[in-house]
Amino acid sequence: MSALASTVVDLANAAYPAPDVTTVAQQTEVSTGGLRTWIEDNIVFTILVVIACVLLTGGLRGNLSKVVTVGGLTLVGLAYLGIATSESAANGIGNWALGLFGINV
């Protein structure tokens, strides 16, 4: 009985060989550099245009306190975005913040 089972398994393996797994595997390195570049090139410009439209609309309505508030918060947001996208700036800010507590890195 086991000889019959062995023969059936051998015939099945001969008729349908196992696929080569190496042809399915990815050969390239995965990184987020392309996504970061796309966001910096496309999204940042769109956000700046929308913010400019909001500031101009607020200025036309005469609501200058809201224009100053939105403009100030926009500058804070853009500074945060600049720090987040630059590795050397993030390291510098981190070292400065740790220096406030007396930790030198």
pLDDT tens for the 105 residues of the chain, in order:
667 777 777 777 766 666 665 655 566 777 767 777 787 788 777 888 888 888 888 888 887 888 888 888 888 888 887 777 777 887 888 888 888 888 887
Q: Which two tokens stand for residue 21?
A: 């797994």
Q: Which two tokens stand for residue 105?
A: 């890195």
pLDDT at 93: 83
Domain coordinates in residue numbering, the chain: 32-101
Contact predicate 64/45, CB 8 Å: no
pLDDT at 103: 84
Q: Which of 40, 38, 33 is nearest to 81 (CA)?
A: 40
Separation between Cα atoms, residue 63 and residue 57, nearest integer Å: 9
Q: Where would I find the H helices in 1-86?
A: 2-15, 33-38, 44-61, 64-85
Give the chain's radius of gyration (CA, Å): 30
